[in-house]
Structure 1
Amino acid sequence: MEIRPLILIVDDNPDILEYMKGVLEHNECEVLTAENGEDALAKLKSSEEEPELIISDIMMPKMDGYDFFIALSEQPIYCRTPFIFLTALDKPEDIRLGKLLGADDYFTKPVDEDTLLASIAGKILRNMKNKKINMELNKFLMESKESFKSSLPKEDREKIILLEVEWDDRMGPQTTNSYPETSNQEFLESLGSQLYVAASTIYGSGDFSKAEGAYISIENFGMDGYALFDSYTDKSFRGGHKEYMFAVVAPKISYLHTLKIKKVLQELSNKTKDRQNLDFKKNWKALSDIITHTPL
């Protein structure tokens, strides 16, 4: 039997909750409802199942949508759950703020039902594929447990690793750069390749037509990762473009960290497209400063 995805809806208007519940249940979803952010956090704590997606209003008593989103962003269990704002706030500055916080989508009421359902379906699919990445990567690391541990320096800051992986038409994914160097460089090269291979389950081989980011939880080792995949036009490669990935692995990466990490990795990607030399040490330091300081 096909599993019905669980969606949490948060709104202080009972009519909207009832309407949205009916629409989603009609489209083969399980639904959990809450009246405000505080109520939603309590419902999540007592729920035996994690939602695949959260839809929240902004203007609510006790805890509004902004504070609810920020609270979730600091919880490892929910920081990567797709989040959609559905609100009456329709001014450009409101929409900018919602997106700046990092929400996956922002819709204003009244919303077109088909548009909302399409967004929900796409984000649930992406979330499920992200979970598959994490499962495959953790399986690989469990099989290489001792190598992974020995590859990490003792100091927390030094445990932050920056990797560059390129796709080679003959050899497959190849780790071409990493920092800092360790005594087990061969394993880091293998880790980079595994990250790249796992990512293809989300985007599909040869489908990095635009920059895409993915959060990776290496649960069995208390580590997190964030990877940015991109490509540039080059007719000498199969498909007419060169694919590559930049990734950072660290003891802890919060959702708010990833907003800044993505900018650093995007700068590396832009320089790659412009065929500029990369200063890996300088960029590693920038990433380390982001990760070792309190996020926004």
Structure 2
Amino acid sequence: MDEQSIQSIVKSVLRELGETNLPEGKIMTIKPDETDSAPAALSAEKINTDANAQTETDSKESLEDLSLDKFIRWNGIRNAHNASINDDMISQTGARVCQGRAGPRPRTISLLRFLADHSRSKDTVIKEIDSEWLVERNLLEVTSRSSDKSEYLTRPDLGRQLSDEGKKLVLEKCKKSPQVQVIISDGLSTDAVTSNYDEILPPLLKGLENAGFDVGTPFFLRYGRVKAQDEVGYMLQAEVNLLLIGERPGLGQSESLSCYCVYKPSPETVESDRMVISNIHKSGTPPVEAAAVIVDLTKKMLEQKASGLNLKR
């Protein structure tokens, strides 16, 4: 584009902006002074050398892990009148208190912790439990009508029913008419299952057996929703159905498990017939303690032949 064309475009834009007196302009080309070229080149070379040296220094170090306790229990309030009060508050809750701020924005550590926790919560929803993990624990794998995790998340109704193959497996492999049937499902948190399984299922099964109950065949339901326990219980004619399922994760807590308990489930079972023990994880209700509570609740359901609002506590 020549100088005349450029001048024409500039004048056109200025007229659109309301300018009327348009003086003749001239485009100037700035050429580097030959006397300055050598120092400039030297300066650029020095900058590159310094940058490379800095990169080499930084590569020997790494960013600290944001899951360390000093970041989780971080006190971001500057110049507090009594910092110990804030420290005490932080130690007693998992909520994001005393984060501080930089003007209208959060502090850098606070923001990074938020992003890390949010990523962790998203990861546990979309992750899959490896079939080898189930084989190692001798767990039968049954699927719901959801074909994959994406469909499971967008079609909750499909997770409430077993697939045709799943129904066939349950009827072929599981004990019929047990007093208690236990199901494990990934739900909305795979970490909840993998983190708590070894600490809750063995003591739960042992506790039920020691209480004298006839326990059915435990199995894993992939892509399951809570309502699926009604279909399983009805198919196997179990008196009590216990479903251990991963809870919807929150920020900073992606390992929370719930146990849904119902007496003689059927297609007519409604939510008020169901009871739940939630927040089962190392920072909430310890898995071993939860197992004892579930066994005690199972005793009451079998004694009173009821669950939910119909159970007299």
Taking structure 2 as the reference length, the TM-score comes to 0.32
Taking structure 1 as the reference length, the TM-score comes to 0.33
- Normalized per residue, which structure has more strand? 1
